[in-house]
Amino acid sequence: MALRSTATAWGPVTRAFHWGMLVLFAGIVPVGYYMTDLPLGPQKLKVYALHKSVGLTLLALAVLRLAWRLGERRPALPPMPAWQARAAGAAHVLLYVLAFAIPLSGWLFNSAAGFPLQWFHLVNLPALTGPDPALKAAARELHESLVAVFLVVVGLHAAAALKHHFVDHDTTLRSMLPGRGGRP
Amino acid sequence: MRTLFTAALLLAAGTAAAAPTYPVLATQSSLSFVATQQGEKFTGVIRDFDARVSYAPEDLAHSGLEATMRLKSIDTKSPDRDQAIGTADWFDVARYPTATFRTVAMRMTPTGPVADADLTIKGRTKRIAFPFAWKATAGGATLDARVALDRLDFGLGGGEWADESMVAHRVEVVVHLTLAAPVAAAPAKPAAH
Our CA dihedral for A14, A20, A25, A30, rounded to 10 degrees, sits at: 160
Query: Which of A36, A45, A50, A129 to mutate to test binding with chain B, by most B CBs within 10 Å of its CB?
Result: A45
Counting every residue, how long is chain A?
184
**Domain range list for chain B:** 21-180
Give domain status of residue A176, yes or no: no
Cα–Cα distance, A28 to A44 (Å, whole number): 14
Cα separations in angstroms, B176 against B9, B50, B79, B171: 37, 13, 24, 16
Q: Name the 3-class secondary structure at A174.
A: coil
Q: Identify whether A6 is part of a domain.
A: no
* Yes or no, beta carbons of B160 and A42 under 8 Å apart: yes
Q: Which of B150, B86, B160 is nearest to B124 (CA)?
A: B150
Number of domains in chain A: 1
Mutate to test the interface with B, among A115, A124, A129 (most CBs of B within 10 A): A115
Structural domain includes residue A173? no
Contact: B38, A133; criterion CB under 8 Å:
no
Residues of B with CB under 8 A from a CB of A: 37-40, 42, 76-81, 84, 87, 89, 160-161, 163, 165-166
Please name the member of B78, B87, B166 whose beta carbon is closest to the beta carbon of A42.
B166
What share of chain A has pLDDT > 70, as a percent? 97
> Is the pLDDT confidence value at B184 over 70?
no
What is the domain range of residue A119? 12-166
Please report whether residue A108 resides in a domain: yes
Q: Is residue A91 part of a domain?
A: yes
| Residues B50-89 pLDDT 10s | 999 999 999 999 999 999 999 999 999 988 899 999 999 9
Please state the rounded mean pLDDT for residues A64-80. 91
Superfamily for B21-180? Lipid/polyisoprenoid-binding, YceI-like (2.40.128.110)
Does A121 contact B87 at a Cβ distance shorter than 8 Å?
Answer: no
Q: Which helix (H) or strand (E) holds B63?
A: none
Closest CB from A42, A45, A115 relative to B78: A115
Given B37, B78, B165, which is nearest A131 (Cβ)? B78
Question: A111 pLDDT exceeds 50?
Answer: yes
ipTM of the complex: 0.72
Residue A128 in any domain: the answer is yes
Report whether pLDDT(A183) > 50.
no
Mean pLDDT for chain A overall: 92
User: Which residues fall within 8 angstroms of residue A97, CB to CB, at 6 or more apart?
Assistant: none
Instruction: Enumerate the residues of chain A whose CB falls inside 8 A of the CB of residue B165.
Output: 121
User: A42 pLDDT exceeds 60?
Assistant: yes
Residue B126: strand, helix, or coil? strand
